[in-house]
């Protein structure tokens, strides 16, 4: 079976219709003779000729047009004698009777009876013999001098002078563009005959009819009828048969000589030459930076078709759409339209299908659909971005600047780039306290707090790769979000200089610091720890070298500890790997609450009893400020310890206090924020002055 041509489209020519029935041909021939006889005048008779009788049994309202002489009509009829016997019927043949009116192609009575009829009007007509087949009749069918009754229903009418008729019954108030020749359109329609009989509908197929206009893809009448339409417009297009399917019809649903009525609503239009259209709805006055290719954007959008049908919305998911731009991660039209936007900008973007989802569409988006996106840019950044610092206030006396290891107290307001408030210490009624460089805050905040003086106020913008990354914080910080912190530094306690803390589990000299610090400069550098100096540190009397490894407690609850230890001789490795600190020292560490050290790498089989722990800052175990010993001018700092570890403070050594196997202080990291360490009631202070 050959495929059906689309409604309103040109298809292959259908086969020629069969010849009319013999009776119909006979009626037409006799009609011509009767008409000729009527024109010659009435024959001799005793009185006046009887007249035509009409009964209008149904008249439609409205009736926009009536039959005139010269019109072409299509009608159904039943023909019968006064006694009710039927002699002919178009219904029996399954096709209308099609003929010009007033051109002698009908018996005189029918020519008169049809004039003035409306489409869908029904008339009962009594035609006397002198206006029908007269004294001759039709042999074997209509006796001479027969009165004929016709029950007529008019189905269609047109005139050779007719053109396409357009009746627009809805036009949107905003019509920025209308259909032009060569445009591609998507529309719905109902196709009917003049009598209202439906022959086709795109609504029934739940799919628009998609076509080019004005280039011969449609019947001529539809090509003309669609021109000038707006998206959303509704119009009725009436097309005479010579601008539709002509004498032959379409061979299936549309008969020959049929006028067609299309009730059309235009849903979409574009031209293959169209590009992306951008309408700026709102642009911030302060736009310091515009997006460029390679940036990562977070934006909200509503996606609709040209007729306003919503197909997608980021708002309904309560999360932004996040993507790189200019790298093919989104459709070509969106890639182009997102370039040059400001943070906070709102745009309406119109994307033709060849820059959208093409002929195939996707999901709720039909093929060849123009897309409209109303977007709101929330933030963007580039993977190469670092933090951005803007100082709003700086005290006149700003000599002491924050650095790694310092203990800081500050207030902050945290927000997104669009101004959405995330958190505020002012709302909590307390400061935020950290040790700078200890990993208690995100890296961007750690960097943003450096080189500040007390009383300074600054705004720090942190890109996500220096903030909470792609994951964000569930329910609080969106993934890939740029963060804005307004900071005021309230207190600064300087941290320890870079150095080492030595811990021994044996008695040492009360003047240990002075014995090591032979040049009496108040500092002990690594190069001062020679074989001669090491005699005072360990039982091993050989050259010591420094090795470093990061290890974690077995419990997994403590933070990673940087361990620097002295080992006799040159470095050497053993296998299988194990922590070679010696039984006594390992037990001491376990008793100190560090837990038994796991084997985390290749270590020497034996190590010195001296252990050096490098501290990240002044408050490892509690947020309180560090202390200074006025007698020695050496920095005091708390540290966790157990009873089996002796601590040396540079003046004397004493056993540490605290419970055996006390747990390590947890860093208290939460996804909401990195909190200071909890206070340790068993911590003690020891002096530190060894630097390296």
Task: Give the pairing type, strands 407-416 and 432-435.
Answer: antiparallel
CA atoms within 13 Å, Cβ hemisphere of 502: 28
* DSSP per position, 101-158: SSSSSS-HHHHHHHTTPBTT-EEEEEE-GGGTTTTT-BTTTB-TT--EEEEEEEEEEE
What is the C-alpha separation between 87 and 446, in angstroms, rounded? Answer: 104
Catalytic residue chosen out of the listed positions 133, 193, 296, 301: 301
What is the C-alpha separation between 186 and 207, in angstroms, rounded? Answer: 9
Catalytic residue chosen out of the listed positions 81, 311, 418, 564: 311
| Catalytic (active site) residue 373 | yes
| Catalytic (active site) residue 170 | no
Catalytic residue chosen out of the listed positions 312, 374, 388, 418: 312
Of 580, 649, 572, nearest in space to 608 by CA:
580
Token pair recorded at residue 185: 């359109």
The tokens 């074997």 sit on which residue? 140
> In this structure, is the dihedral angle defined by the CA atoms of residues 479, 480, 482 and 485, taken in order, positive or negative?
positive
Q: Are 8 and 190 in contact (CB under 8 A)?
A: no
What is the C-alpha separation between 55 and 77, in angstroms, rounded? Answer: 14
Task: Tell me the residue ranges of DSSP E strands in 107-239.
Answer: 122-127, 148-158, 165-170, 184-193, 198-201, 209-212, 234-239
The tokens 């005091």 sit on which residue? 636
| Catalytic (active site) residue 296 | no
Token pair recorded at residue 657: 């206090």
Coil, strand or helix at 427: helix
| Catalytic (active site) residue 331 | yes
Q: How far is CA 418 from the centre of its chain?
A: 19
Token pair recorded at residue 464: 């996500």
What is the C-alpha separation between 115 and 466, in angstroms, rounded? Answer: 87
Task: Tell me the backbone φ, ψ of residue 23, rounded to 5 degrees.
Answer: -65, -40
CA dist list (Å): 248 to 1, 17, 403: 19, 7, 93
Catalytic residue chosen out of the listed positions 331, 349, 387, 389: 331
What is the C-alpha separation between 47 and 474, in angstroms, rounded? Answer: 105
Token pair recorded at residue 537: 């540190």
Catalytic residue chosen out of the listed positions 373, 410, 565, 677: 373
Of 331, 361, 364, 366, nearest in space to 349 by CA:
331
Catalytic residue chosen out of the listed positions 72, 75, 184, 357: 357
Q: Cite the active site residues.
A: 301, 311-312, 331, 357, 373
């Amino acid at each position: 079976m050959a495929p059906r041509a689309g409604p309103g489209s040109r298809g292959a020519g259908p086969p020629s219709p069969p010849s009319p029935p013999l009776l119909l041909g006979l009626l037409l021939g006799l009609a011509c003779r009767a008409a000729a006889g009527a024109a010659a005048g009435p024959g001799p008779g005793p009185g006046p000729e009887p007249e035509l009788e009409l009964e209008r049994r149904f008249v439609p309202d409205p009736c926009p047009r009536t039959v005139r002489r010269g019109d072409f009509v299509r009608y159904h009829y039943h023909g019968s004698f006064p006694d009710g016997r039927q002699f002919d019927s178009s219904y029996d043949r399954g096709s209308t009777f099609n003929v010009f009116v007033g051109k002698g192609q009908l018996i005189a009575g029918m020519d008169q009876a049809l004039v003035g009829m409306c489409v869908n009007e029904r008339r009962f007509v009594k035609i006397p013999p002198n206006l029908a087949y007269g004294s001759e009749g039709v042999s074997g069918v209509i006796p001479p001098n027969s009165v004929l009754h016709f029950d007529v229903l008019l189905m269609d009418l047109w005139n050779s002078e007719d053109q396409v008729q357009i009746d627009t019954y809805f036009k949107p108030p905003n019509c920025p563009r209308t259909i032009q020749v060569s445009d591609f359109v998507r529309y719905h329609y109902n196709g009917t005959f003049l009598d209202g009989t439906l022959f086709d509908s795109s609504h029934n197929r739940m799919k628009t009819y998609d076509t080019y206009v004005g280039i011969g893809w449609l019947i001529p009448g539809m090509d003309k009828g669609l021109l000038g339409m707006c998206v959303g417009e509704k119009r009725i297009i009436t097309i005479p048969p010579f601008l539709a399917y002509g004498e032959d019809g379409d061979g299936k649903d549309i008969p020959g000589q049929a006028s067609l009525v299309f009730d059309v609503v235009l849903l979409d239009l574009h031209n293959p030459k169209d590009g992306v259209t951008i309408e700026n709805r709102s642009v911030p006055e302060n736009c310091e930076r515009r997006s460029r290719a390679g940036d990562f954007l977070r934006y909200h959008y509503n996606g609709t078709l040209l007729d306003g049908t919503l197909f997608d919305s980021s708002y309904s998911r309560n999360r932004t759409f996040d993507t790189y731009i200019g790298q093919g991660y989104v459709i070509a039209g969106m890639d182009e339209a997102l370039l040059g936007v400001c943070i906070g900008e709102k745009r309406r973007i119109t994307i033709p299908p060849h820059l959208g989802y093409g002929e195939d569409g996707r999901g709720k988006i039909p093929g060849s659909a123009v897309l409209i996106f109303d977007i709101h840019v929330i933030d963007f950044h580039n993977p190469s971005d670092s933090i951005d610092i803007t100082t709003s206030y700086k005290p006149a006396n700003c000599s002491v600047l924050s650095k790694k290891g310092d203990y800081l107290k500050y207030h902050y307001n945290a927000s997104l780039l669009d101004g959405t408030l995330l958190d505020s210490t002012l709302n909590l009624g307390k400061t935020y306290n950290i040790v700078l460089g200890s990993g208690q805050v995100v890296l961007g905040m750690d960097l943003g707090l450096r080189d500040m003086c007390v009383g300074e106020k600054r705004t720090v913008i942190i890109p996500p790769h220096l903030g909470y990354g792609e994951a964000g914080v569930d329910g609080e910080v969106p993934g890939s979000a740029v963060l804005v912190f307004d900071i005021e530094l309230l207190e600064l306690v300087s941290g320890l200089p870079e150095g080492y803390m030595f811990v021994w589990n044996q008695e040492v000299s009360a003047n240990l610091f002075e014995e090591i610090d032979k040049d009496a400069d108040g500092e002990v550098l690594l190069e001062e720890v020679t074989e001669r100096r090491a005699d005072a540190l360990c039982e091993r009397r050989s050259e010591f070298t420094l090795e470093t490894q990061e290890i974690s407690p077995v419990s997994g609850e403590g933070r990673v500890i940087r361990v620097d230890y002295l080992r006799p001789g040159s470095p050497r490795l053993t296998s299988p790997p194990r922590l070679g600190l010696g039984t006594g020292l390992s037990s001491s560490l376990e008793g100190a609450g560090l837990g038994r050290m796991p084997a985390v790498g290749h270590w020497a089989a034996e190590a010195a009893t001296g252990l050096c722990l490098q501290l990240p800052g002044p408050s490892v175990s509690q947020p309180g400020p560090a202390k200074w010993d006025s007698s020695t001018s050496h920095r005091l700092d708390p540290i966790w310890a157990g009873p089996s570890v002796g601590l040396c403070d540079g003046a004397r050594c004493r056993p540490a206090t605290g419970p055996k196997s006390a747990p390590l202080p947890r860093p208290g990291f939460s996804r909401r924020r990195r909190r200071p360490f909890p206070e340790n009631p068993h911590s003690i202070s020891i002096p530190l002055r060894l630097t390296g």
